[in-house]
Amino acid sequence: MELVEIAKSSGGSSSASSSKKEHDAAFRKLRQLICKLPMSDQVVLYRDHQEVQHVCDSVWRSAHKRLDFRQLEQELTGEPLSYFLNNMMDHFRYVYFTADRLQDNLNVLERAGVKSLNSVQHCELLLSHEAVPKAKTRRPREAGAGDAGLGRVVGIAAVLGGSMMPQWPLHALPKMLRNLRRLKVYCEVQVHFIEQFTQLELLVLHGDVAQSALTGILERCKQLKRLFIKCKNPPPTLQGITSCHRLQDISLPMLLFLESREQVLALPTLHLLELTYAGQKAEMAIECLRHVMDAKADTIEIVQMNCATFEGTYWLRDTGLGSCTHLQGLVLNNCRFYDREILELNMPRVENYLVLSGCPDLKEYQLLDVIKKCPKLSELYLIDCPLLTGKVLNGIYRIRSSEKLDYPISIILSRCESISKDYQDSYADYWYFKLQVLKLDRLLEENRPIEDMQIFFYKSPGTA
C-alpha cells in the first residue's frame, strides 16, 4: 500500500520534531513513489499535496472496511502497518482473525497502539491454512453483514484440535470488541469468553464447543437472535436455551434437537429451525419432523429439505408434512416419487410456491395431481426433472382454467429442456394467448441446493 508511505511522508516532512535522518529517509521514499507517476499526476500531487492525507483517509475508509489478518501482512509490514492500523482502528467494521495465530494477530495490534476496535460489529475466527480467494485479495466483498437467510450461511469448513490451538488468547477479544454483534467461530472453543459479548446477536459455531462454554453462552447472551451450531461433535444438551427469549433462528444437528426439542420448539420468537443431517439415519429425520409437526404444524410457513437422506416410498406421509395447514412454500430437493399416487404420499397443500429440484422419476400425472392438490399455487419451479415434457403444460393449463383465478401460474424452469423447447415452438401461435392463465420463465440464477432441512415458522407479532 504505497498510499501509506505518501501519507506518512507528507505529514512527517513538515514536523519540526523530525530528525534530519528521518526527514531524508521519508524524502527518498516519497521521491521514489512520485517518480513512478506520470507527469500529469505529479502536477496534481504537487498542486494539492496538502490534501494527500485527507484523500488517503477517504480511500482507506472506503476500500478497507475489513481487517483481515489472513492477508494483511502480505501487503504491509513494520512501521507502515502500524501507521495504517492506528489510523483506521475506529473505522473497521469487520475483523477476520486467524484463530491458531491469534496471539500474533493481537501482537500486531498492540505494536500499532490499538487497544480496541469499537466500530467492529462482525468478527470471524478463521484458520490460517485456509487460503484467501485470489479474486478477493485486492478488495474483498463485504460478506459479513449477516449472510443471510440462513440456510444460506456459507463458510470455511475446518476444525482445529484443541491441543493444537492455545485457548488463552481468546480471553482478550471481548475487551477489544466491545460492540460485537456477529461472531463466526471455526476453531475449537473450550473456554468461557463468548458470553462476555453482551450485544451478540448472531453466533455460528463450526468448531467443537465445550458443554460448559455453550451453557454460558445460552444463559448470558440475552440479545442472541441467531444461533447456528455446525460442529461435528456438538455438546449433548442445550442447557440454558430457555433463557434465550430473543432467539429467532437456530440450526442444530438432529441428535441435539431431539435431546432438547421441547425447549427449542417452545422458544417464543422461533422463526427458523434448521436441522442438519450429519450422516444420521433417515429414521431420525422422520422422527424430528414428526415432533415439529405435532407441536407447530399450524404455524409452519415454509419447508425446505434435501430428500436424498430419506429411504422408501412413504417418507412424505410418515413425516406428517401433510398436516401443515398454512404452508406458503415447499422446496423438495433430490426427491423420488416411485410412481406412487400423490394422494397416497399425503403431499401437503401449498398456497404460494413449490420447488421440485432434482426429481429424476417425477412423472406428468404426478405433477398434475400436485397442481390439483395446490389450487392457489402462484409459482412452480421445475429444476432437473427429465421425464417431464411440454405436454404437462396443457394439463396444468386445463386445471388452472377451471379454477378461474385472477392471476396466472408462473412456471420457472431450469434443466428441463423438453418443456422449454415445446413451449417456445408453439409460443407465438398458442401460449402467447394463454398468458393470463399460465406463463413460463427461465431460472436466471440458481441458489445453492438445499443440503439439510429448514423449517420457517410465521413470525410472532412484534418480532423484528
- List of domains in the chain: 1-63 (no CATH), 65-276 (3.80.10.10), 280-464 (3.80.10)
- Coil, helix or strand at residue 115: coil
Task: Spell out the residues 6+ positions from residue 200 whose beta carbon is closer than 8 angstroms to its own.
Answer: 180, 181, 182, 183, 194, 221, 223, 224
Q: Is residue 201 within 8 Å of residue 223, measured between CB atoms? A: yes
What is the arithmetic mean of pLDDT over 421-441? Answer: 94
Report how far apart, in Å, the C-alpha atoms of 348 and of each of 42, 62, 373 are.
70, 49, 8
Convert the pLDDT of each residue in 242-286 to its tens digit.
999 999 999 999 999 999 999 999 999 999 999 999 878 889 999
Locate 163 and state its grid cell.
491441543
Distance from C-alpha of 214 to C-alpha of 94, rounded to nearest angstrom: 24
- Coil, helix or strand at residue 383: strand
Nearest partner of 228 among 130, 158, 155, 166, judged by Cα: 155
Q: pLDDT confidence of 64, banded at 50, 70, 90?
A: confident
Burial class (CB in 10 A: 0-12, 13-18, 19+), 459: middle
Nearest partner of 317 among 351, 293, 353, 284, judged by Cα: 293
What is the arithmetic mean of pLDDT over 38-46? Answer: 75
80-84, 197-201, 267-271, 348-352, range with the lowest pLDDT: 80-84
Cross-strand bridge partners of residue 354: 330, 380
Distance from C-alpha of 422 to C-alpha of 232, rounded to nearest angstrom: 47
Nearest partner of 289 among 270, 265, 308, judged by Cα: 265
Instruction: Report the percentage of the chain scoring pLDDT > 90.
Output: 64
Convert the pLDDT of each residue in 104-157 to its tens digit.
999 999 999 999 999 999 999 998 765 454 444 433 333 333 343 333 333 333
Instruction: Report the percentage of the chain scoring pLDDT > 70.
Output: 87
User: What pLDDT is attached to residue 35?
Assistant: 81
Distance from C-alpha of 218 to C-alpha of 210, rounded to nearest angstrom: 13
- Coil, helix or strand at residue 366: helix
Convert the pLDDT of each residue in 291-335 to its tens digit.
999 999 999 999 999 999 888 778 889 999 999 999 999 999 999
Q: Is residue 357 within 8 Å of residue 383, measured between CB atoms? A: yes
Locate 84 and state its grid cell.
495504517
Locate 296 and state its grid cell.
407447530
